[in-house]
Each structure stands twice: as structure tokens, then as C-alpha cells.
Chain A
Amino acid sequence: MKLLLSSGSWSMFIGRSHPLLVHLPIGILIIAFVLAMLAQRQKWAHLKSALPLVLLAAALSAVISCITGYLLSLDGGYDEHLLQTHKLLGIGVAVISIVLYILEKTNNRFSRLQVPVALLMILLLSAAGHYGGTLTHGDDYLTQAMPAGLRKLTGMSNTATNVAAYTDIGDAKLYEDLVRPVLTARCYGCHNEQKLKGGLRLESVALIRKGGEHGPVLKNGLPEESELFKRLILPEEDEHRMPPKGKPQVAPQELELLYWWIAQGAPVGKTVKELTKTPRILAVLAGMQPPPALDKNEFVPENMVSKASGNSIAALAAKGVKVLPVAAGSNYLAVNCINAIDFKDADMALLLPLKEQLIWLDISGTHVTDAAIPVIAKFSKLTRLEIKNTVVKGDHLDQLGACTELRYLNLTGTATADAGVLSLRKNKKLQQVYLYQAGVKPATIQQLQQSMPKLRIDTGGYLQQLPSDTIIYKKISV
């Protein structure tokens, strides 16, 4: 096979100046349009004298662009339909700029057509430019780079492409999550529906298997014999090298992935876990393990919630109760009474309007009693509850069973009843219970621990003294 590249010719050389020259008529025509519009006004009428020269330059550069464009199209590898549209529009622009020039030169009864023709020219110019851009860069070149806000505004789907869809590399699908992104980033630019270089498209496994105009590019299980891999490791100077010199290259670990994928028989829908791994690919995969999500917190529900009413928060603030979102931008709330020691059972009702949002509650050191527990039981999303140093006896602790999300409970310094503590068995998600100085019998603790083996129960009372605590090290003088 022979790449067209290898046989350089004048026509091709000139053709490749198309992307360069094509911007001349664009710029000149726009300035001609602006001048023509301004010249309509009496104040700017003197600008009219510049129009013949500007339009002549525009017409000439447009014609030259058409010729170079045609030569470039002989190069091949473009979507036929798109190319045809672009070609026709381009010729249209060239013709219309000649017409504009003639209208300007021959000052006859047609010259008042100048404004509508100029408007038509701008339309054609924009359309030709758009299709030209699509031919070179693909049709999602601009939209890909759109910020999330703008995407939403323009009604486009908001699929963040840079976030890994897996938290463990073992769960990643080899083709979908690892290989396809490489092909997208490095190969699609030239091997897509619009720009079929070498007659090859790489958007799906079916298309890859179909191969290009020079035959198949993939041999199952034999990466060394597959063009899809072979060409990537040719010397950079080689004319068959892909991606061509000067284009963004495939990174070494991406090469390893491609090699492994072909060696595995180019599977689709298989996860990394399911496939046999060589030590070499294991090293590559280890480097691709996504970092842990640093903003995850199991004490915050994953689903969203509506905003709590500002009035209820203000009413609590007036009592000295601090109500804060658990994170900026989150509607879930944390409440603490560190500066509201006068907080009492009657005030608990103030918290009720927040029951959808309240997830962390600290009423330690306040005047609340057991009567507060039934109110707390209404906060079904609560994950953390601190009732340290209060007179709560825990008679109603069984009602906390309604707080199904509860993970952390601190009863330090309360006089908790044994029966109440045992009823915590209902809280299946409970991970930690603090019962330091809560006067719970060791037997009760043992019983609770037996029924909930994973629960961390801390009753405190650590004290260790060693004889060495009093030794003072000194040099013994002889």
C-alpha cells in the first residue's frame, strides 16, 4: 500500500495552503461588509471610496481559496456529504464577492441591491466557515469544550467526561472506560464519520473490525500484527507512523492498554477484573487507580434535599443555637448548642422545621431531658447525635430506632438506663456508641456488643501507670 503522502506533488502542496489562505477572504469580506454598512450613513460616506479595492481583494482571495480547497479535497479522507456542502458554499461565497465587486464598480440601477447581497454573503460565509471547521476538527469540537453551565443553558446533556466512572480500576470496563478514551483523544480527530483518513473509522469496535481502505487493522490476540498497534510504535519519522508527527501522541501507558486489549481479543463490555493480567499491565493499571474521592463522607446522605427555611434557622440563632450547612453548597444541616446552654425541652420544637435537613445534632451540656428523645426520633436522617453531659436517662432511647441512619451516638456523662442502651440494637447502622461515665453496667455492654459485634462501644476509664513514669535519667558521677 502507498500512502498518498509519499507522493508529494505541486497540486497537493498548494492544496494544503487552503486552511491558511481561507482566512483571508473571511476577514476581508467581513471588513467590506462593515465598511459598506457604515457607508450607508452620510457621516461615513467617505468610506465608500475604499470599497472597490477591498472587494477586489476579497473576490481574488475567495477564488484562490476555492482553487486551493478543491486541490485539498483531492487529498481524500473527508466525509463526502460534508465536503460537497462546504465546496458549494465556498464557491457561492467566491461568486457573490465577485458580484459585489461588480455592483460596486458599475454604478447602475442594480447598485441598491448591494445591501441585501452583502447580507446574503455574510450568511453564506458563516455557513461555509462552519462546515470547513467541522471538516477539520469534527462536529463536536466546540461543544466538547463547553463549560457545564453553558451546556445546561443550551440544553445539552451534561455528561462530564473527565470523571472516572469507576472507583476501583478492577471495575473499569477495558474497552469502554480505558481503551475508548485513548482512541477518542488520539485517533478520532482523523478517523471519524466526517474525516475518513485511510477510509478508516474508529468510533466503535464494529467499525474498527471493518478496517480501512487497506484492509483490516485488528488481528485478534496479535497486537504485533495489528495495524492498530503496529503503527503506533513506528519511528516518528516513518510516514506510516500514527498519530502523524506533530499530532498529540499516544502515551506509553496508553500504548500498553491498547496492546493488552488487542492481546485479549479486543473484548467489549469486559471489566479489568475478568481478564488475565500480565505483570506489565498490572504496573500500568496500578498507576491508573483513581484517587479516593476526597469529598465523600458517610455521615452525609448522598441524595439532595431542599433548603431549610431561613426563618426557622433565625429563630434558633436567636437562642444562641448554631445552625450551619455541613458543607458549602449542601442543604444538610449541623446543629450545635455550644453557646446555648439554656436550651431546654420546650425549645426542641424549634428544630422540627429542619427535620428533613438535620443530620448532625449536638445538644450536649444543655437542659434537655428524656422528653427531648421523642422529638429527636422525628429526625429520620440524623447520622450523628451528641447528648453528652445532660440529665437524659435514656428511658425513651428505644424510640431512636426511628432514626434509621444513626451512625454515631454520644451519651458520655449521662445517666443512661441499661434497658435504653440495649434498645439501640434497633439502630442497625450504628457504628459507634460512647458511654463514658454513663453508668451502664458492664453486663449490659457485653450483651449489646454480642448482638452488634461490629459496634464500637467506648466506656472509657483508661488509666495506665508504669514504674518508669517517675524515673529521672541522670548521669551518675563517679
Chain B
Amino acid sequence: MSMHERLIREANEETLRYLTRRHFLLDCVTGLGAAALGAFLTGCGSSSGKNILDASGNPMAPRAPHFAARAKSVIYLHMAGAPSQLELFDYKPELQKLHNQLCPPSFLEGKKFAFIRGVPKMLGPQAVFQQHGESRAWISDHLPHFATMADEVSFLKAVQTDQFNHGPAQLLMQTGSARLGRPSIGSWVTYGLGSENSNLPGFVVLTSGGKTPDAGKSVWGSGFLPSVYQGVQCRTQGEPVLYLTDPDGMNRDLRKQSIDAINEINKQEYQSFGDPETLSRISQYELAYKMQISVPDVMNINNEPAYIHEMYGTQPGKESFANNCLLARKLVEKGVRFVQLYDWGWDCHGTDEALSIDYGFRNKCREIDRPITALLQDLKQRGLLDETLVVWGGEFGRTPMQENRDGKEMPFMGRDHHVEAFTMWMAGAGIKKGGSWGETDEIGYAAVKGKVAINDIHATILQQLGFDHEKLTYDFQGRPFRLTDVGGKVITPILS
């Protein structure tokens, strides 16, 4: 025995000496307590698999909705950071008259703002408005292309939220709850409908603007739903889906064999334990294998004809909102249920040039104007707009007041976060063409008519997909949960 070994042994024996019977019993108490706690908490786990399994045992098998649907797919364009409704759709000439005047105290009493302190000045609309189309919809000169689509969309001008910070507001908008842990809209949709194309994910997420949303990837998470329903983020630069390609030295046949073997073991695992997460894993392996071929194909925009690139303003190989719009059309054409686009950079407080109403905001508008218009037109000419619901909006609106962060004047024009009224629009799939619902007061501060809650937006999206939002539920923690929680009313005035 070497000196070294003897030293280790001595140390071990010394440790054992300290471990008396009392220590052992003490450890037992906490150990047993933890075990018992685990048993109590089993109610918190995901519920039995009965919620998702059809005869085929495939959680992504396509399913029929409650009633014949208008929409087969949804493209949700989320402008992360929240664009100003007052420079785009909610025309308020009265606000112009109040420009640079101090905000009346009645707008400030009892209110809380994210950054505004003290008494800010009012900020008139920084855009030129005109009415467009037969619907005479007010659209500003920031969106000259989109203005031609006035008769294709329905505006919701009095959407309300109760969260004035980006993260919680985005969560509320995308999951129906400002707290973490709820499934996103896309997850509910794929849980309800499965996926039409068995070679592609049912729920795809594309981001642009150089940043993911403030709320992180939870905005496309599956919450308490089995994780097979979470959104799959695809990238427009490099590999579309990370870790999808075979590593060096492994060919596709070998990959297939190893996936088959893993799935066989997982099937046995499922038979013994019945955990739906095991099924998720099996179908994710299978899907990933198919996606090795199908995703690079659908994510490649190089083969699109030149005039399509001109139409969208796309540049292959770049991460851009335009590319994502074109991809959204391609994905929907291939039967993807829910395509979620996030475009970051709309948080125009006026802190710097890029995040200002007078400069950065106009550039952001230019970046989305042509792609969104092209997306609507492209869907339309292919006969897809009739079965694709397009939703546009931020997570909240902007104040009619000029921001005065810390009571100081800002270097650029900017508006603070505003929860009481903002504008969203929907188009396609049974949505009224050239519709508008809801009104704000004379300066666009508060909703006065046709108020719409986030739950109502969700109810309407599910409605167009053929779901009664009160019946699309999932049992968790001992009760059925739904996307619209205990609220939600379908916004019938914008349905055709």
C-alpha cells in the first residue's frame, strides 16, 4: 500500500467515524420527508396521456376540430417591443392640437407607467394619415404598401392588456397568462389539430430584429402540454434547425438505425410507465429524422423566382423579417399549422435614434411594410389567404404622451408603454374584409367602444380554426385548463 493510498483510506475512515447513528437517522427524516413530498406532488405532473392519444398513438396525428374550420393555418406577426398605434392606424387629429402641451392630470392620476414620471408633455401623431380603400381605413404614410391592403384586413382598435412590461405582456399575448408555465397559442393549436404534414413541425417560430422576445423562448413553449407541442425555432442563417444534421462520420442509414433502436426502447418505457413525455420523445426523434430532408428544403428561399424576391424585398442568406414572411408563406403552403414571427426593435422610447418615433420607428415600418403586403398578396394569389389567418400586433400600445424617463427630456421622440388601448389587425380565413372594430377617445388614450381583451383575440383565433375555445382543454393539476382561462369572447363583429 502506497503512502498515497493509505492517506485516502485514513481520510475515509475518519469520515465514517463522524457519521454516527444519529446522523443516519437525521438524514433519514429529511430523506423520507422528501420522498413523501414527492408523492404528494404527483398531482403537479402532467396528466395521463389520454388527453393526446388517438388510435395511432402519434401525438401529432392530424385531428378534426370541433366544427368545420375557416382557417387551416395561422401566421402570427408579433412586433416585439410594441409599435405605436398612434403613428400607424389610430388617427387622432385632436392629439396634434395638444402637441407639446403638458399632460392633463386626469390622465395621470392613479395611473402607473413603465417610465413616465411626473407630468409629461403630449406628443402629436408623427405621421401623415390618409383614408384608404373602400373601407376608408386610416393608415399612415409609414406603411404605403400596406395601405393598398386596407380592404383585406379587419382592424381591432381598442385592444387592452394589463401588463406594461414587455416580458409579462408578451407572455400574456402568447400564452394567455402573464406568468410563466402556460402553453403558447401555437402549442394549443397543434395539441388540438395535430400536424397536417408529417415531415414538418406543426408549430414553427422565426425571429428577426437581432433579438428574441424579452419573455424568452417561453412565448413559444408548451407549458404543461407535452413538449411535443412546443414551437420549433428555425433560423434563416446557417443550419435552419440547430443540431439537425448528422455529425461527421455518421451516415443517414446509421442515424436511422440508431433512432429506430432508441425508439424501440422508448416504446417499452412507455408501456411500463405510460408517461406521455416518452411519446413526445419518440415522435420528436422520428420528426427530426424526416426534418433532415424536409426542413432544409422548405427553408431554402434561393429557388424562389426573382419577382417573388422583389415582391417581398428578400435577400437570401440574411436574417430579416422579409425572409421570414416569405418562409411563413412557404411553411403554410406545406401544411404547417402555426407560424409565429417575432420581429424585435419596436420599443421606441426615444432613448436613441434607432429606438425613436422620428427615425428608428420609420425604418422599422419600412422593413415590414413591403414584406407584410407581399405576404398577404402572395397568400391571396395562391388561394391560401382564405384558409390562413394572419394576425398582426405588439404586446401593448404606446402612450399619447412623450416619454420623460426619470423626469428628463428625451434626446429623441418617444412614447412609453401603454396598456389601455392599442391596435391589432387580422386578415384572411373568414375575417371580414375591410372591417374595423373598437374606438379610442379623441387623443387615443383609452378605449371607449368595442374593447377587446387578449382572451378575446385567442378565442377568435381558435374559433377560426374550428374550436370552441371553452372546450379545447387539457387536464393539469386536477382541473381542465384552456388558452382563454376563464374569459374570452369571440370577436364576432370582425367575422365575415
Contacts and interface: CB of A to CB of B under 8 A. Distances in A.
A327 B67 contact: yes
Interface string B296-323: 0000000000010011010000000000
A466 interface: yes
Contacts of B196: 322, 336, 338
Interface string B441-465: 0000000000000000000000100
B245 interface: no
Given A297-B70, A339-B199, A466 B64 contact: no
B265 to A, nearest CB: 27
A475 B355 CA distance: 12
Interface string A461-478: 111111011011111000
Contact of B311 (A297, A325, A462): A462
Contacts of B198: 339
B47 to A, nearest CB: 21
A386 interface: yes
Nearest to A300: B68
A459 B272 CA distance: 57
A330 B382 contact: no
Contact of B381 (A291, A330, A336, A462): A462
A308 interface: no
Interface in B114-156: 144-145, 148
B383 A458 contact: yes
A473 B363 contact: yes
A327 B68 contact: yes
Given A471-B366, A473-B363, A327 B64 contact: yes
Contacts of A386: 383
Contacts of B359: 473-475
A156 to B, nearest CB: 27
Given A473-B363, A475-B359, A463 B310 contact: yes
Contacts of B330: none
Given A325-B64, A326-B68, A468-B366, A434 B148 contact: no
Contacts of A474: 353, 359
Nearest to A338: B335
Interface in A279-336: 291-292, 294-295, 297, 299-300, 322, 324-328, 330, 332, 336
A461 B381 CA distance: 7
A460 B62 contact: no
A297 B197 contact: no
A264 B353 CA distance: 68
Interface string B187-221: 00000000011110000000000000000000000
Interface in B356-411: 358-360, 362-363, 366, 369-370, 373-374, 377-378, 380-383, 386
B101 interface: no
A410 to B, nearest CB: 4
Contacts of A458: 380-381, 383
A388 interface: yes
Contact of A462 (B334, B369, B377): B377
A194 interface: no
Contacts, number: 116
A473 B334 CA distance: 37
A469 B386 CA distance: 28
Interface in B247-290: none
Given A458-B380, A465-B310, A474-B359, A324 B366 contact: no
B490 interface: yes
Interface string A325-362: 11110101000101100000000000000000000000
A404 interface: no
Contact of A294 (B148, B199, B463): B463
B49 interface: no
- Determine which residue in A295, A299, A432, A472 has the highest number of CB atoms from chain B within 10 A of its CB, and name it: A295
A70 interface: no
Interface in A405-436: 408, 410, 412, 432, 434, 436
Contacts of A464: 145, 148, 373
Chain A's interface size range is 35 or more
Contacts of A338: 196-197, 334-335
B487 interface: no
B400 to A, nearest CB: 22
B472 to A, nearest CB: 11
Contacts of B369: 469
B100 interface: no
A324 B68 contact: no
Interface residues of B, number: 47
A471 B142 CA distance: 11
A168 B467 CA distance: 24
A95 B386 CA distance: 76
B68 A299 contact: yes
B232 interface: no
A327 B366 contact: no
A379 B374 CA distance: 35
B63 interface: yes
Given A297-B70, A338-B335, A473-B363, A412 B383 contact: yes
B62 A297 contact: no
Contacts of A328: 63-67
Contacts of A461: 381
Interface in B68-112: 68-70
B126 to A, nearest CB: 11
A436 B313 contact: no
Interface in A98-124: none
B197 A339 contact: yes
B495 interface: yes
Contacts of A459: 381
Nearest to A364: B333
A225 to B, nearest CB: 40
B466 interface: yes
Contacts of A295: 66-68, 468
A403 B274 CA distance: 47
Interface in A212-227: none
B492 interface: yes
Contacts of B334: 338
Nearest to A431: B386
B145 A466 contact: yes
Contacts of A410: 382-383
A294 B490 contact: yes
B210 to A, nearest CB: 17
Contacts of B370: 469
Given A432-B383, A464-B148, A472-B363, A292 B495 contact: yes
A55 to B, nearest CB: 48
B326 to A, nearest CB: 14
Interface in B45-70: 62-70
Given A468-B366, A475-B359, A297 B377 contact: no
Nearest to A291: B492
Contact of A463 (B199, B307, B463): B307
A408 B383 CA distance: 9
Contacts of A469: 145, 313, 366, 369-370
Contacts of B381: 412, 434, 436, 458-462
A469 B143 CA distance: 10
A339 B294 CA distance: 11
Interface in A444-467: 458-466
A295 B469 CA distance: 12
Given A294-B495, A339-B198, A458-B380, 11 more contacts: A294-B468, A322-B196, A325-B64, A338-B196, A434-B383, A460-B377, A460-B380, A460-B381, A465-B310, A473-B358, A475-B353
8 contacts: A295-B468, A336-B335, A339-B197, A432-B383, A434-B382, A463-B310, A468-B366, A469-B145
Closest 8 CB pairs of A and B: A460-B381, A434-B383, A295-B67, A297-B68, A462-B377, A410-B383, A473-B362, A436-B381
